[in-house]
């Protein structure tokens, strides 16, 4: 992603538009099968934050092609399609529930006794046709949230004899609906990123402003797509749902590198960019409103909001306590480009010319977009052991009660 032009002015535009809009131990997972809190299966829908190998089996080009080969997976013996050096939050959650790791849906020979992972790296909440009408292209996969829901329905129908049996199975399952939606915004911003050799002209500023407007216009529809899918799952019989919010974008190296702001007033006390974080919070607040409406409609179900934003900020604040290098919390372990962030959109981790840091476990960011295995373990602990997923979707997890 090229360095953005006139960042201070862009941040001011974004802030104005936001106002107008309203607005533990870190061991590796092992396969076990004991039942925890009555949960016998996990079903997961989402994007690269939780894909365990679907995009690898779909095949892709562009920047995500590098996620299917080394150095991805270097902490677990090789690339598996996970966008990290190792395991993800969904893996650690399965481990804490004493279950095998979730197999990707497209691994047709896999054992799906304890659940299925439908998540695909690069997936969007809205389908490609809806985004295309808004001038946003989906470069990596057509497996949107609606496609994943249909795959889930097909799977349940093929492995049960009746809707009643589906309801019974879902009554013993934990269903994860996301995180998803971040790519919808990423593609809108990326489509309007500055062109080369024109970093300071008015044309590039206009492109960036267009990206901001387009991304903001997507928020209600993205949130609506997520809550609509959650409603269908609840109607099918799901009783425990987890719906995550968005990360603080202003703390993510890819966004920080793109803006490359030098004005200290553009940053908050955690060192993160204020304006992108406000955009993420706009999504999160609208999503939480939708979740509250779902809870009113389905009072017998537990519908947890997983506060990825809050957990990520806590991880930043406590970086030194959990083993991270406090001087490199915004620097990708694997990548290339500016020294401050080690990120270049045109040379993503794994591409020729990129390098890997000596100690990935001391970094929060793996490739400027996704987290390291260690960061995903810390996030899982914060979410499911320290109350950042609320109300608790599981009463006891990993042998410890949730707080």
Whether 190 is catalytic: no
Q: Which residues contact 151 (CB under 8 A, 6 or more apart)?
A: 105, 118, 143
Query: Which DSSP category does 177 fall into?
Result: E
Query: Which DSSP category does 237 fall into?
Result: T
Catalytic choice (47, 96, 367, 381): 367
- Which CA distances in Å does 93 have to 49, 115, 229, 381? 13, 13, 22, 9
Catalytic choice (43, 47, 48, 173): 48
Catalytic choice (43, 140, 283, 370): 370
Contact 175/181 with Cβ under 8 angstroms? no
Whether 235 is catalytic: no
Closest C-alpha to 398, from 26, 15, 4, 118? 26
In angstroms, rounded to a whole number, what is the distance separating the alpha carbons of residues 220 and 62?
28
- Chain centroid, CA 253 distance in Å: 15
Q: Which residues contact 59 (CB under 8 A, 6 or more apart)?
A: none
Torsion of CA 120, 126, 130, 133, to 10 degrees: -90
Residue reference for tokens 């809870």: 295
Closest C-alpha to 193, from 131, 145, 261, 258? 258
- Which CA distances in Å does 254 have to 273, 343, 362, 371? 12, 6, 18, 12
Whether 283 is catalytic: no
DSSP three-state, residue 171 = coil
Residues annotated as catalytic are 48, 367, 370
């Amino acid at each position: 992603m090229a360095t953005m032009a006139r960042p201070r002015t862009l941040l001011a535009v974004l802030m104005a538009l936001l106002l107008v809009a309203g607005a533990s131990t870190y061991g590796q997972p092992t396969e076990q099968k004991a039942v925890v809190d009555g949960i016998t299966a996990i079903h997961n829908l989402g994007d690269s934050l939780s894909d365990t190998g679907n995009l690898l089996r779909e095949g892709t080009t562009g920047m995500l092609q590098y996620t299917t080969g080394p150095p991805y997976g270097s902490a677990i013996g090789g690339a598996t399609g996970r966008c990290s050096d190792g395991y993800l939050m969904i893996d650690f959650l399965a481990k804490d529930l004493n279950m095998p790791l979730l197999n990707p849906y497209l691994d047709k020979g896999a054992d799906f006794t304890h659940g299925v992972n439908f998540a695909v790296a690069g997936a969007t909440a809205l389908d490609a046709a809806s985004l295309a009408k808004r001038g946003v292209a989906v470069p990596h996969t057509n497996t949107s949230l609606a496609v994943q829901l249909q795959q889930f329905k097909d799977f349940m129908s093929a492995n049960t004899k009746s809707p009643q049996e589906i309801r019974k199975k879902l009554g013993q399952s934990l269903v994860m609906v996301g995180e998803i939606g971040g790519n919808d915004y990423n593609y809108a911003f990326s489509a309007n990123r500055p062109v080369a050799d024109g970093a300071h002209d008015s044309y590039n500023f206009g492109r960036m402003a267009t990206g901001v407007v387009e991304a903001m216009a997507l928020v209600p529809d993205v949130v609506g797509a997520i809550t609509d899918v959650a409603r269908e799952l609840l109607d099918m019989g799901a009783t425990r749902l987890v719906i995550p919010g968005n990360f603080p974008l202003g703390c993510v190296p890819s966004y920080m590198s793109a803006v490359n702001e030098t004005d200290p007033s553009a940053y908050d006390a955690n060192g993160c960019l204020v304006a992108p974080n406000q955009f993420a919070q706009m999504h999160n607040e609208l999503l939480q409103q939708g979740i509250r409406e779902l809870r009113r409609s389905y009072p017998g179900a537990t519908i947890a909001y997983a506060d990825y934003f809050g957990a990520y900020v806590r991880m930043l604040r406590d970086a030194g306590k959990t083993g991270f290098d406090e001087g490199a919390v915004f620097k990708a372990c694997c990548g290339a480009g500016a020294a401050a962030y080690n990120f270049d959109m045109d040379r993503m981790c794994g591409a020729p010319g990129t390098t890997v840091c000596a100690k990935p476990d001391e970094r929060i960011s793996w490739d400027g977009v996704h987290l390291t295995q260690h960061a995903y373990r810390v996030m899982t602990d914060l979410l499911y052991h320290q109350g950042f997923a609320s109300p608790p979707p599981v009463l006891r997890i990993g042998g410890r009660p949730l707080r």
